[in-house]
Structure 1
Amino acid sequence: MRPRQSRRHGAAVTVAATLAALGAGQILGTPTASAAASHSPTPSSAVASAQDRAARAIAGSLSDTGWRARLRAAALASDEVPVTRLAGGALKPALTAADHRIATAKGLDGQVGSLLRLRLGDDSMRPALTAGRTPWVAAATSDDDATTVTAYDSRGRAHSLDAHKAPTHPVYVVDIDGDQALAAGLRVLGTELHRLGVASAAPAPTTAQQRTGKPAGRPAPATAGFWTTRISAVELSDDEEPWIKGDAEIYTLVTGFGQDGKVRVDPVDMPYLDNDGTVYRPNQILVNWSNYKYDLADAVMMEEDGSTNYRDLAKAIATVLLTIADQGGYVPLVNAVLDAIPDDWWTDDPDYVDSWYTLARSDNGTRHGARGNGWMTVEPYFVQQF
């Protein structure tokens, strides 16, 4: 995972001649007869294809010296440039089309604005870019195991680069806004899960005495609220990743049996988990126990790596979890959630990070993930309602 930096913006450009030279079908993605006849691409391949087309279009646009200078200024001033908003002329509809394909592949149609972002591949490239060298452009990868990266120059030529050693030539990387994609995706996931029947009755506030079973002692007004499990510290393992790979956006699916006895899933966004090998102390609520029938729940930590289709994820999870009935005792649900994830999501870079079985309401201390990829220190925390 890579650290976030500030975001600013620059200006627009007209590049009709360059795009025409590259070919309308290539840039705008007009499907051929054979492509139309084939089956729909997986979310991962659809997102990767859209980003690659955007990278080629942007690379071709850099033959325009005025636009190249404006984009250079924007890339040097910010880690992420909202390139679709900045573009003009024939480049803008090309990038808008790529944005639409990405949103569709991720199940976010109509739920999100432009996701495409452009950034400099590595800080070591800043001197060469500042000196005026025309950068190449590559699409970000979500594959940790990638050994090579393809970058395009302004004449349309492809260059194969080492994925684990940043080149000396400056490279712009076309990526997506993971924060925005994940926020919209979790909204879609929650809505779809509720529509498909994976939800419990709305939680009702309880008093501290009701949840603990302890006598009130001296007369005092009962405090309304609910018990939660709070994360006081969390860390993920430190793994070497390609220089071209963007930020990993982390979220957790908390699962258990709701108050109505039906399986429920509560998505929890964890936007602070930017870097592996770093201990974060978020004091974030992970489980709201008033949502659950039992004092046990499971947690499956996932990564938004650009390929996640949240509508498909909701359908897959619902299909499996709705077959699990409450038998009067807690049944761990981690394996059911993992089994529900479509097989093609595991082909290159798995979205699965780690899992925690049978988190208890009374847990107070460090719990290591079953996969050994991370740990969390948790504690009971009572949320008062006044």
Structure 2
Amino acid sequence: MRPSHRRRHGAVVTLAAALAALGTGQTLGAAAATAAPHFPAATSAAPHSPAPASAVATAQDQAARAIAGSLSDSAWRDRVRTAALASDQVPVTTLAHGALKTALASADHRIAVAKGLDGQVGPLLRLRLGDDSMRPALTAGRTPWVAAASSDDDTSTVTAYDSHGRAHTLDARTAPAHPVYVVDIDGSKALAAGLKILGAELQRRGVASAVPVPTTAQSTRKAAGQAASAAAGFWTTRITAVELSDDEEPWVKGDAEIYTLVTGFGQDGKVRVDPVDMPYLDNDGTVYRPNQILVNWSNYKYNLADAVMMEEDGSTNYRDLAKAIATVLLTIADQGTYIPLVNAVLDAIPNDWWTDDPDYVDSWYTLARSDNGTRNGARGNGWMTVEPYFVQEF
């Protein structure tokens, strides 16, 4: 089950809620005081970049049709059934052969291009059984229908295809009795590749960005020739626990793929964005204890930073995202006091991207280096417990 999301329209969050857990004792500048959490207005002036959602959705739908038609071959159908019962992530392009493999490889390529990923990412399409309740019927030998996963949280219907090419309209909220294979994208693989491209593109466009932060705290090695010192290292903020809120979502959707953009002013006084991959955050209503580094304070000029948590729904073009964010953030100058950047990041995302993705999950304004305890998100969609953590060099 994915975490809940709420689109930009109609959301109201107070500044008090966003800053309730600040507790740093630091007085923020006038710019910070007026930066109340919000969803950007529908008339945002952010640079427009065509959303790749339609290209990805079309490729997935074509893949679903091709796979459905291929299931008329009993030997192939048995092979897919065995794989689907054994794993919830079947690399269907790799498993396929002949004309089907060619068709799926073509769809994979179109998806990678739409997402701004390079040719080294490999096959992204995967197949899974839509719901565990379908396992008995699949095991009994019923020929499954095949549907493409939707990236729209609010969809009410799902179109599935049978082996004769006929379309069946299904309820998105109630899993059907008939077994259905769902074709979607390996989100973890796409996100890992996408965040690397996002960081590289931000750097190329003049916004400093580190490589995605590792899942768990890791020590660092000293540069050659430096003397060993017990005090050498850097301070970080580490996530010890995190949970996102419950929400009823379509059975056709799989696990969430969550990442966070940490923003602030670098040591050079310029805005920087550091992407943080959160591959463990699969389900809502579940408390995860990752001990993951969120902020490396040695990268920042001030002792405050912001965090914007997003979900990759399958259609994000990371090169376009980097361009949009850089275009807006490069206009923000260091005024000698900390300025929250959450709103600027949200305003940078082109309006049509909010139709399906990338989904805004939650945001944390003014995370402080001294924060030690639970911080609720500004949207109220999640919370995380953080602590100062010193990474010691050796």
TM range (shorter): 0.7 to 0.9
Superposition TM-score, scaled by structure 2 size: 0.82
1:143 and 2:143 correspond: no
Q: Which amino acid aligns with 1:295?
A: N
Kindly name which structure, 1 or 2, has the bigger radius of gyration based on alpha carbons. Answer: 1
Instruction: Tell me which of 156, 165, 169 is aligned to 2:165.
Output: 156
Once residues 105 and 182 of structure 2 are traced to their aligned partners in structure 1, the CA distance between those partners, rounded to angstroms, is 17
Give the match for residue 306 of structure 2: 298
Partner in structure 2 of residue 75 of structure 1:
84
* Structure 1 letter corresponding to 2:78: A
> Residue 301 of structure 1 aligns to which amino acid in structure 2?
M
Equivalents in 2 of 1:294, 1:263: separation in Å? 11
Q: 1:342 is matched with which residue: 336, 350, 353?
A: 350
The aligned amino acid for 2:104 is L
Q: 1:324 to 1:116 in 2, by over 3 A?
A: same
* Matches of 1:138 and 1:88, distance apart in 2: 20
Which residue of structure 1 aligns with residue 201 of structure 2?
192
1:277, 1:190 → 2: CA distance? 30
1:221 shift after superposition = 5.1
* Aligned counterpart for 1:380 among listed residues 378, 388, 391: 388
CA-to-partner distance for each residue in 1:120-143, whole Å, 9 max, x for gaps?
A: 001111111111111000001121
C-alpha distance 349-259 of structure 1, shift in aligned 2 (>3 A):
closer
Hey, what does 1:364 align to over in structure 2? 372
Q: Which residue of 2 aligns with 1:107?
A: 116
1:70 maps to a residue whose letter is: R
Residue in structure 2 matching 1:317, options 325, 328, 331: 325
Q: 1:330 to 1:2 in 2, by over 3 A?
A: closer
Q: Give yes or no for contact 1:200–1:291 (8 Å, CA) kept in 2.
A: no
Helix, strand or coil at the partner of 1:42: coil
Q: Are residues 1:117 and 2:126 paired? A: yes
Aligned structure 1 segments of 4 or more residues deviating by more than 2 angstroms: none
CA distance in 1, matches of 2:79, 2:280: 31
Over aligned residues, Cα RMSD in angstroms? Answer: 2.0
* Contact in 2 for aligned 1:229/1:286 (Cα 8 Å): yes
Q: Are residues 305 and 200 of structure 1, via their aligned partners in 2, closer, same or farther at CA, if it must alter by over 3 Å?
A: closer
Separation of aligned partners in 2, 1:56 and 1:76: 21
2:276 aligned to which of 253, 258, 268: 268
Distance apart, 1:42 and its partner CA: 2.6
Describe the SS at the equivalent of 2:101: helix
Q: Distance in 2 between matches of 1:367 and 1:41?
A: 35
TM superposition score normalised by structure 1: 0.84
What does 1:179-328 correspond to in 2, within 5 Å? 179-199=188-208, 222-328=230-336
Read off the aligned partner of 2:323 and give its amino acid letter. K
User: What is the distance in 1 between the residues matched to 2:155 and 2:229?
Assistant: 61
Aligned length: 336
Q: Which amino acid aligns with 1:306?
A: G
Q: 2:144 touches 2:180 (CA, 8 Å); kept in 1?
A: yes
Aligned partner of 2:51 in structure 1 is: 42
Q: Secondary structure at the match of 1:172?
A: strand
Q: Equivalents in 1 of 2:268, 2:181: separation in Å?
A: 51
Aligned to 1:281, the other structure's residue is in SS state coil
- C-alpha change, 1:142 and 1:234, in structure 2 (3 Å) is same
Matched residues in 1 for 2:207 and 2:176: separation?
48
**CA distance 1:174–1:379, shift in 2 (3 Å):** same
Q: 1:111 deviation in Å?
A: 3.6
2: CA distance, partners of 1:143 / 1:185: 20
Structure 1, gaps ≥5 residues long: 4-39, 208-219
Shift of 1:324: 0.4
Listed one character per residue, the Cα deviations across residues 143-192 of structure 1 (whole Å, up to 9, x for unaligned) are 11111000000010000000000000000000111110010000000110
Displacement, 1:65? 1.0
Match of 1:171 among 180, 205, 209: 180
Q: Report how far residue 109 of structure 1 moved.
A: 2.6
Tell me, yes or no, if the aligned pair for 2:199 and 2:210 is still in contact at 8 Å: no
